[in-house]
Structure 1
Amino acid sequence: MKASFLNAPKGGPRHVAIIMDGNGRWATMRGRPRLFGHHAGARRVREILKACPDLGIKYLTIFAFSTENWKRTQDEVAGLMSLFRRYIIKETRALSAYGVRVRFIGDRPRLDAKLIALMDELEAETSNNDRVHLTIALNYGGRDEVARATKRLAQDVAEGHLRPEDVDEETLPRYLDTHVLPDPDLVIRTSGEARISNFLLWQSAYAEYEFIDTLWPDFTASELRNLCISYGARDRRFGAVTS
């Protein structure tokens, strides 16, 4: 995994989150099965990831499989699960060598035992890396994450570890899957859809959004750089008024 040698835009985002949409349409446009597009999308992750350090991006979070994606055909779901297993096996050495720390967020119990074991191994293998922090949202949904976090918070209250009067907007994030990560600065969705699809609902309260027409397998490091430049030019006031 070689470096891309792009210049970091001034004032660019430190944490970028991406809804990688359009794999199926990309394949259909080429007369190929949808899984062909998902394989192409997985290869695109590699290019985008290796561009991150030169763009000043320390954290990259990607939406790989949502809690709603189980509604897809059985063949497509099975193909995606096989792709995830193959990706982890194939990419572990390169990710570790490139200094990438990998984390997975989402509800793991519904995933098969072999995939969960591979996820655990990849997290352990890369746990000491710090060049780029790659977070993969797998069987993830923002509402599901908040519900699971609330259950854990309620359990701590019930057991006396936390007083109800001490619960505020700073408390819940400590129970989220992303509790060790900074909130995303920029959220990108490819493929022309202009919705967030239950992705990082709590964390993205003050994120900047970019909805672009490019299908994910065609998304390039140069396009990412342009979006980072656009981000750097925005006036982020967080509710305040500047003179």
Structure 2
Amino acid sequence: MTGNDNERRNRGDSKGPPASQSGNRQGVYHIDIGDLMALDDLSAQLEGLVGNYGDPPQAAKTTPTPSPRGHTQPADPPATPRHESAAMPPAETANDPDRQREALLASLAASRSAATNDAELTRTKERLQRLSNDFQNYRRRTEEKADDAVRFAGEKLLKDLLPVIDNLERAVGLASTTSTSDSFVTGVRMVLDLFLRVLTNHGLESFKCVGEKFDPAIHEAVQVAADLEKEPGIVLEEIIKGYTFHGRLLRPARVVVSG
């Protein structure tokens, strides 16, 4: 090698440092292959997260992502829609004792509420039934009172007429024992009989006393007489007749009772 050649070599070497060193000085950064792999892994994770919230691009579903070293990474599985994942709770939630206890307590509260409503409904029906029965009884009593008011409207008048009947009967009895004209006695008897028939049609009735057992409900003892042939408490004589009006006692009979 000549001196000129050595001189040219020295001049060429003095133009600058190697390209890599010059590049570092001019802002060109050297990237390691490990950093590229980390970036690829981070990109894949981000694509998987995006797939959980929406449908990824078609290419992301089917096209595998090449790695810097030439290895092929498997494609991401299809994402599950959010409504399907929400419909299926995790196993730990379904088997959570606290949640099961809360569900049982809620069911028990609903059952108690339904039972309370049924019991209240039953009590309400019973109260309504009692009110209906009371109203029916009140209505029946009111109707009975109204009927009695109409039926016994003439009670006071008939009670005032009883002394008239007593006097007519005494007159007929006395006339039959005296020398009174038979035609007169017959006429008075006919008037008395007609009068009694009219009163009987309106509910007035007399009842038998002589020979019956003394009953303080319908008899009034005015005298007690000894009678060896009768047992005590038997009506021996009727002094004044007793009457009823539509089955109700209008006047008790005044009688003589054996003692």
Query: TM-score normalised by the shorter chain: which range applies?
Result: under 0.3
Which one has more relative contact order, counting CA pairs under 8 Å at least 6 apart? 1
More helix by share: 2
